[in-house]
């Protein structure tokens, strides 16, 4: 495609997995995408430090971002580089130079979303980031446009495909954590250094973005209590099965009746009555409860080259349809003070070494009414579920257990 009057020129920053996916999606569906956008969308430049010999992208490839930033023909910049810098500098400069920006970069959005939205609004541009949460699942736009009549009471998501895949493998095949992780790495679902996924940081950034949008104020991901799945064992999974439950890594944000909001990322035991129970393998699911609409579920591919690229291109179309007109997003830079997680109540599934009538009595003295969980073959430990107590109460009681094996929160 060559530059012409009926054309919207865009530039793609980063030709990695998602950047090449964006090019591919526009090549495969260019005609229908053009119809939806009202004009042909033409990739004029692709920025990357590397060379790609033999790839047709070479004729559009540039190594200097200023070529893109200084070109008045570029109306939309697509940032798919990842990381905060230099992405933040490039995106901010693009907006200041009158270009709308579309990004899939959750680190950037979680850290600077409010500021970049403000710059876009002041200049009648758009900063769109559908692909930063949930890959190909539309969730940002529904929160922003379709659910505006509702007060959002809860958002709970399985927002990380890697951890969901690992937990599914452990559940379906009885694997231990290390083996399931190795499996995920071999299939390309987990990085060589999987910390961002398995320690819960990826899900934490995503729930920070969703919470900021749902409640209209800045939720800092550093303030969100985050626990990953590295301590979940194959024994925990056996108990979950005995309870007719599954273990899922939940990223949750809840507004209570007093308008206090808390957020956390942690493994949870859930039963089949929970809407996210059947979200398995690398799929993501997001459950939203509104005070008027009730419960809404979003479900699909939360990652991967083409699903994520598809969400990026949908934002490009949205930006193309709204050139010179800002799409209203409520996310102020005013910081939302989250409730101290220690005040939040849960039931807890607990495993301790040892099994005796005496130990059971001690535990009942300690935790009050407990529900014992028995699994064949577990003769040398006691497992139980507490009543609903605050995180702080549980911490205080837990300190006196010198033989603690495992703790998982319970959502039933």
Tokens encoding 357: 């009538």
Q: By C-alpha distance, which of 88, 145, 152, 119 is closest to 318? A: 145
Tokens at residue 239, please?
Answer: 């108990």
Q: Which residues pair with 218 in a beta bridge?
A: 335
Pairing state between β 7-13 and 40-47: parallel
| Cα(361)–Cα(33) distance, integer angstroms | 67
Residue 338: both structure tokens together: 């989250």
For 111, what's the count of Cα atoms within 13 Å in the CB-facing half-sphere? 14
> Has 169 been annotated as catalytic?
no
**Which among 106, 206, 246, 248 is annotated as catalytic?**
206
Closest CA to 300 of 134, 173, 155, 60: 134
Integer Cα distance of 67 and 29 in angstroms: 27
Whether residue 90 contacts residue 13, with contact meaning beta carbons closer than 8 Å, is answered with yes
> 361: burial class by Cβ within 10 Å (0-12, 13-18, 19+)?
exposed
Q: Helix/strand/coil (H, E, C) string of 145-169? A: HHCCCCCEEEEEEECCHHHHHHHHH
Q: How far apart are CA 57 and CA 326, in angstroms?
A: 31
Q: Which residues are catalytic?
A: 206
């Amino acid at each position: 495609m060559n530059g012409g009057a009926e054309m919207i020129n865009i530039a793609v920053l980063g030709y990695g997995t998602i950047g090449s996916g964006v090019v591919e999606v526009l090549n495969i569906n260019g005609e229908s995408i053009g119809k939806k956008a009202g004009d042909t969308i033409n990739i004029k430049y692709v920025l990357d430090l590397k060379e790609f010999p033999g790839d047709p992208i070479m004729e559009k490839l540039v190594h200097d971002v200023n070529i893109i930033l200084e070109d008045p023909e570029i109306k939309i910049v697509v940032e798919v580089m990842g990381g905060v810098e230099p992405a933040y500098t490039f995106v901010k400069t693009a907006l200041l130079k009158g270009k709308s920006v579309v990004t899939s970069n959750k680190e950037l959005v979680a850290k600077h979303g409010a500021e970049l939205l403000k710059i876009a609004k002041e200049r009648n541009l758009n900063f769109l980031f559908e692909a930063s949460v949930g890959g190909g699942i539309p969730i940002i736009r529904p929160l922003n446009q379709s659910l505006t009549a509702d007060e959002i009471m809860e958002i709970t998501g399985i927002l990380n495909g890697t951890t969901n895949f690992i937990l599914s493998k452990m559940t379906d095949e009885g694997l231990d954590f290390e083996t399931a992780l190795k499996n995920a790495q071999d299939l390309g679902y987990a990085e060589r250094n999987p910390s961002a996924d398995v320690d819960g940081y990826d899900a934490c950034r995503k729930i920070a973005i969703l919470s900021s949008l749902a409640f209209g104020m800045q939720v800092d991901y550093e303030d969100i209590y985050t626990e990953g799945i590295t301590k979940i064992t194959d024994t925990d999974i056996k108990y979950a099965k005995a309870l007719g439950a599954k273990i899922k890594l939940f990223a949750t944000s809840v507004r209570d009746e007093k308008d206090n909001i808390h957020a956390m990322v942690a493994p949870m035991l859930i039963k089949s009555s929970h809407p996210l129970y059947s979200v398995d393998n690398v799929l993501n699911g997001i459950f939203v409860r509104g005070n008027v609409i009730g419960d809404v579920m979003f479900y699909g591919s939360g990652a991967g080259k083409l699903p994520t690229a598809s969400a990026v291109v949908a934002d490009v179309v949205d930006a193309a349809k709204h050139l010179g007109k800002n799409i209203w997003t409520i996310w102020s830079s005013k910081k939302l003070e989250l409730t101290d997680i220690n005040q939040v109540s849960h039931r807890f599934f607990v495993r301790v070494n040892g099994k005796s009538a005496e130990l059971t009595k001690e535990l009942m003295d300690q935790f009050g009414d407990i529900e014992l969980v028995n699994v064949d073959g577990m003769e040398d430990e006691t497992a139980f579920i507490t009543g609903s107590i605050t995180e702080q109460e549980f911490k205080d009681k837990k300190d006196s257990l010198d033989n603690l094996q495992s703790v998982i929160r319970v959502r039933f």
